[in-house]
Amino acid sequence: MPNDYIVKPVYKALQVLLCLGEERREMALSEICHRVGLPKTTTFRYLQTLSACGFVTHDPNTDLYRIGLRIWALGQMAREPLQLRELALPAMRELRNRFNETVNLGVLDGREIVYLDMVESRRSLRMQAQLGGRDPVYTTALGKAMLAFLPEERWVEHLPVRLTPRTAASYGSIGGLRDELRRTRERGYGLDDGENEEGARCIGAPIFNQDGEVIAAVSLSAPEARMSERTFTEAAAAVIQTAAVISQRLGHDH
Amino acid sequence: MPNDYIVKPVYKALQVLLCLGEERREMALSEICHRVGLPKTTTFRYLQTLSACGFVTHDPNTDLYRIGLRIWALGQMAREPLQLRELALPAMRELRNRFNETVNLGVLDGREIVYLDMVESRRSLRMQAQLGGRDPVYTTALGKAMLAFLPEERWVEHLPVRLTPRTAASYGSIGGLRDELRRTRERGYGLDDGENEEGARCIGAPIFNQDGEVIAAVSLSAPEARMSERTFTEAAAAVIQTAAVISQRLGHDH
DNA sequence: ACAGCTGTTTCTTCTGGCGAAACGAGGTTC
DNA sequence: GAACCTCGTTTCGCCAGAAGAAACAGCTGT
């Protein structure tokens, strides 16, 4: 809460809402207040308020709360994700079909990337992300692809103070990561070699808007067993190509 | 605000959020506070708080606010709409293909229905709803189809005290509407004959869950010029059939 | 340069949010 | 079946902190 203008009741109520969303399931009052660390009475009041606005639904029989319809509907009103998805989908499908591996579309949001859309591999062993789900910027190919093409002085706002490695392969130091980001910029694609998920290899490439700013990225994710050196170089070129096609549809020339 | 447990700051902040969503566009602080009728300072603080949680995005260049990514992502975490959509889509497509008219899927939410999904007609003159958009229960075929199959004592909670006719064809009195709802139950489908939108004719049928409760409805919407008496009876049967297929996939037997 | 907009900051007032504790309704155990 | 949990709801008094007026600052256009 770095801001002086935070209205605490609002902030805390939003935490309650986020808690309900992150868990993806119905929750009891006691569980929620436990999880967000708020007194029972307060949490109760917030839930009443949230549910009065349709942001939360309360089942009177089971006494459980869940995310309300209104949130979903509000989300449908957000322009950018939907527009971008529509534009990107055909190219993403093509990429998936060519390699039969999962293709993801993501954007930066603070220190995380958010999965906007995905086209899944048809194989039974496949990478699978959650629509609207989040992963750290610095452990994912998507994140690194976007970060690398941002001015270096803006890197800090998308990175935590301390890197907490998710897997054995994750970067442990900011210094090492910065070097990797510079290499990423030169290569033109971001790489995740088991840094986010053990045994998964992803290639991500940046998508630019009309003004030449990175606004998103696409990635191809596969189990490393299916990513031999040969398919890898081929895939990297294809991912960059896919990102370029989408950028073009956004009005980015060159 | 019928509830004693409403926390006003939270409630008002949510109104700000809803305002931003309903308008479907970026808005300036002054416009928002004007629209929700809150003092500038207060609105400013709410927006700061909302944006600290990612619910709202603030463009520092233009000083405009818009719905944040987090809302969209949260919406993706809501189970029911997504599950139902997935289940219903194939049957909806079939219905659209048969008549080449727009098919909608909706649920009740208070006194409104919310459009969960749609499959559009391919003709240039066609009905078009907004995903996540809302219409009154009592002017739509979807709404009436659901209401009719709810116990009569629950009708009141989904109806306003005074009906405000949207078109010349809309019902003006609760009494007349109640009769229409009873007829709807007997017929098996809800009818909207230009009550929601001039010149549009819709047929809606209820979808039941495993326990035999109405949880949604599908509708077929067409310009009245294309809904002759003959196609109409055919369409009504088809909509009911479609709803039944979806109900079945939800585990409703019979 | 000035007027008329923005959004941001400060400050003082007093409202209404807070949480402990009491209450009551199920459900479980012995 | 009584005693005992545990969970959601209600009450109530206190004082943190939300609110809004007003001053401030940063634009844009005339």
pLDDT of residue A1 exceeding 70, the answer is: no
Residue A184's contacts (CB-CB under 8 Å, 6 or more residues apart) are A144, A145, A147, A148, A190, A191
Verify if strand D has an atom below 7 Å from the CB of A28.
Answer: yes
Report the pLDDT value the prediction gives residue A204, as an integer from 0 to 100. Answer: 97
CB–CB of B49 and A7 under 8 A? yes
Q: d(Cα A214, Cα A237) in Å, to the nearest integer?
A: 18
Q: Which amino acid is at B91?
A: A
Residue B68, chain A, CB below 8 Å: the answer is yes
pLDDT of residue B163: 87
Would the Cβ of A8 be found within 7 angstroms of any atom in strand C? yes
List, in order, residues 6 or more apart from B206 with CB less than 8 Å away. B145, B146, B148, B149, B190, B214, B216, B217, B243
pLDDT band at A111 (very low <50, low <70, confident <90, very high): very high
Q: What is the CA radius of gyration of chain A?
A: 20
Which nucleotide does the CA of A65 lie closest to, via C1'? D8
d(CA A113, CA A135): 6
**Smallest CA–CA separation between B244 and chain A, in Å?**
24
Helix (H, G, I), strand (E, B) or coil at B102: strand
Confidence of residue A45 (pLDDT cuts 50, 70, 90): very high
Amino acid at A56: V
> What is the maximal distance between C-alpha atoms in chain A?
60
Question: Does the nearest atom of strand D lie within 7 Å of B175's Cβ?
Answer: no
Q: Give strand ranges (E) for chain B.
A: 27-28, 56-59, 64-67, 102-109, 112-119, 134-136, 190-193, 200-208, 214-223
Exposure string of B143-182, with b = 16+ CB inside 10 Å and e = fewer, is: bbbbbbbbeeeebeebbeeebeebeebbbeeeeebeebbe
Q: What angle do CA A244, A250, A254 make, to 5 degrees?
A: 45
> Is B50's CB within 8 Å of A109's CB?
no
Helical pair A40-52 and B8-23, crossing angle rounded to 10 deg: 30
Instruction: Report the C-alpha gap between B113 and B137 in whole angstroms.
Output: 6
Task: Quote the strand ranges of chain A, DSSP E.
Answer: 27-28, 56-59, 64-67, 102-109, 112-119, 134-136, 190-193, 200-208, 214-223
Count of Cβ atoms closer than 10 Å to residue A6 Cβ: 18
Name the residue in chain A with its Cα closest to that of B52. A1
- What pLDDT score does A178 carry? 93
Is A118 part of the contact surface with chain B (CB cutoff 8 Å)?
no
Name every chain A residue with its beta carbon within 8 A of the beta carbon of B77.
21-22, 24, 67, 132
Residue where the block lists tokens 């409805």? B217
- Cα distance from B234 to chain A (closest Cα, Å)? 32
d(CA A131, CA A75) in angstroms, rounded, equals: 13
Query: Quick check: helix, strand or coil at residue A19?
Result: helix
Looking at the DSSP bridge assignments, the partners of residue A135 are A113
Joined together, the tokens standing for residue B30 give 């002054």
Residue corresponding to tokens 């549009």:
B200
* Residues contacting B114, CB < 8 A, separation 6+: A69, A73, B106, B107, B108, B132, B133, B134
Contact B154, B121 (CB under 8 A): no
Query: Which DSSP state fits A245?
Result: H
Contacts of B66 in chain A (CB under 8 A): 78-79
Partner A contacted by B36 (CB < 8 A): no
Residue A127's contacts (CB-CB under 8 Å, 6 or more residues apart) are A101, A102, A104, A120, A121, A197, A200, A202, A221, A222, A223
B75-121, pLDDT tens digit by residue? 998 887 888 999 999 999 999 999 999 999 999 998 999 999 999 99
Q: Is A55 on the interface with B (CB under 8 A)?
A: yes
Measured distance CA(B219)–CA(B102) in Å, rounded: 8
B194-237: pLDDT as tens digits: 888 888 999 999 999 988 999 999 999 999 899 888 899 999 99
Average pLDDT of the residues in A42-47: 96
Interatomic CA distance for residues B234 and A246, integer angstroms: 44
Say if residue A79's pLDDT is above 90: no
**Which tokens is A100 given?**
């039969």
The residues, ordered by sequence, that sit 6+ positions from B56 with a Cβ below 8 Å of its Cβ are B17, B20, B47, B50, B65, B66, B67, B68
Residues from chain A that touch B6, judged by Cβ atoms under 8 A, are: 45, 48-49, 52
pLDDT digits (tens, 9 = 90+) for B166-180: 888 778 788 899 999
> For residue A38, what pLDDT band results from cuts at 50, 70 and 90?
very high
* B109 burial type by CB count under 10 A (0-12 exposed, 13-18 middle, 19+ buried): middle
Q: Of A167-176, A222-231, B71-80, B181-190, which range is least confident?
A: A167-176
Residues of A in Cβ contact (< 8 Å) with B79: 24-25, 66
Q: Do B71 and A75 touch (CB under 8 A)?
A: yes
DSSP B28-41: EHHHHHHHHT--HH
- Answer for A29: CB within 7 Å of strand D: yes
Interchain pair A6, B52: CB under 8 A: yes
Binding-face residues of A in 211-230 toward B, CB within 8 A: none
B133 touches chain A (CB under 8 A): yes
Q: Determine the Cα–Cα distance for residues A216 and A157; give it in Å rounded to an integer.
A: 16
Whole-number Å distance between alpha carbons of B161 and B163: 7
pLDDT at site B61: 86
| CB contacts < 8 A (A, B) | 163
Q: In the predicted model, what is the mean pLDDT of chain A?
A: 92
pLDDT band for A211, please (50, 70, 90 cuts).
Answer: confident
Strand partners, B136: B112
Q: Please answer yes or no on whether B24 and A74 come within 8 Å at the CB atom.
A: no
pLDDT over 90 (residue B162): no
- Helix B40-52 crosses helix B8-23 at what angle (to 10 degrees)? 80
pLDDT-based confidence at residue B2 (cuts at 50, 70, 90): low
Which long-range contacts link A56-61 to residues 24+ away (Cβ below 8 Å)?
A56/A17, A56/A20, A59/A26
Region label for A236, one of left (φ > 0), alpha (ψ between -120 and 50) or beta (otherwise)? alpha
A2 band by pLDDT with thresholds 50, 70 and 90 = low
Burial A27-57 (b: 16+ CB within 10 A, else e): beeebbbebbebeeebbbbbbbbbbbbbbbb
